Amino acid sequence: MQIFITFALTLFLSHLCNSVIKIEHVQVPKSIENDTQTNVVLDCVYTFNENEDNNLVVKWYFNNNTEPIYQWIPNIGSRFVSTYWKSKINLNYALDTENPLTKYRAINLIRPMTELSGNYTCVVMSLTSEDSKASEMIVYAAPKIFDFNYTREIIETQSSLNVTNELSSDMHLNKTDFNKTGATLQCDISQVYPLPEVMIYHVDINGTNLLSLRVKNETKRIGTHSYNVSVSSYVNDQELVQKFGEQKISIFECLVTLPLPEHKPSYKKRITYIRGCIKFRNKLLN
């Protein structure tokens, strides 16, 4: 009796194993550029035993939404798309296959924009088993506006040098350099996604030897998938001379990098800055 029960249990477990659904992989592009692709296919490649169980249901979910954005039930020919996604999923798309149980497993996104960035989860279930896999897609947006310029400034300083007046050895004048020239470099990026890394560099004349500058960073989120970023850095003419020599021309570069998983698109602009003259004022101190 014990042998019979063991044999029956083995057959039952073997049957279950043969009918288990397995998602081999989910084909989702890691990143695409905003509004550049007419359509993008997200595929869910699964295996199962067609002889054992063909009562399949295929569902796609977006982020943490509990309602599927797409559902297909092959046996009854039912295909469902949630309201928000009706203008974003092409229901005329089908895989190039004659298998009626895999033909409509993929979803075809129409001209994806940044709001379609997120996690996509495929769920395949039957009467006996279920499997799911997820993958993230980032729809990135290059800066719509990219400005890099500088504003010349005069910064007050308090470095003094005492000198003797030629007319009287008893009278002392305080000759003070109150002003030093420099400039604020300003790099403004608008409507970019995801949040980029923005750096300002000093570049030598032949475009090499980048030296990063200290920057102030201001970020404003203008939408769920859009940012404005402003980065500024003050450069002092005297420090430029000390670090890079007497040449009056300095080249600066603003580099914007998007932190994507597979590649990091970058955008840059350069400006030429001509340092000004340091102005002096003399002030007689009583």
Delineate the domains of the chain, giving CATH numbers in brackets.
22-140 (2.60.40.10), 145-283 (2.60.40.10)
Q: Rounded distance, CA 61 to CA 71, Å?
A: 9
Strands 31-33 vs 130-140: parallel, antiparallel or unpaired: parallel
State both tokens at 166.
């030629």
107-110: which pairs have CB atoms within 8 A and are 24 or more residues apart? 107/41, 107/42, 107/60, 107/69, 107/70, 108/39, 108/40, 108/41, 108/42, 109/39, 109/40, 109/41, 109/42, 110/38, 110/39
User: Tens place of pLDDT for every residue, the chain, 286 residues?
Assistant: 444 333 333 333 344 445 589 999 999 999 999 999 999 999 999 998 887 777 899 999 999 999 999 999 999 999 999 999 999 999 999 998 889 999 999 999 999 999 999 999 999 999 889 999 999 999 999 999 999 999 998 765 433 233 333 333 333 333 334 347 899 999 999 999 999 999 999 998 877 788 999 999 999 999 999 999 999 999 998 888 888 888 888 999 999 999 999 899 999 999 999 987 544 333 333 3
Q: b/e map of 46-64 (b: 16 or more CB within 10 Å)? A: bebbeeebeebbbbbbbee
Q: Rounded distance, CA 178 to CA 43, Å?
A: 68
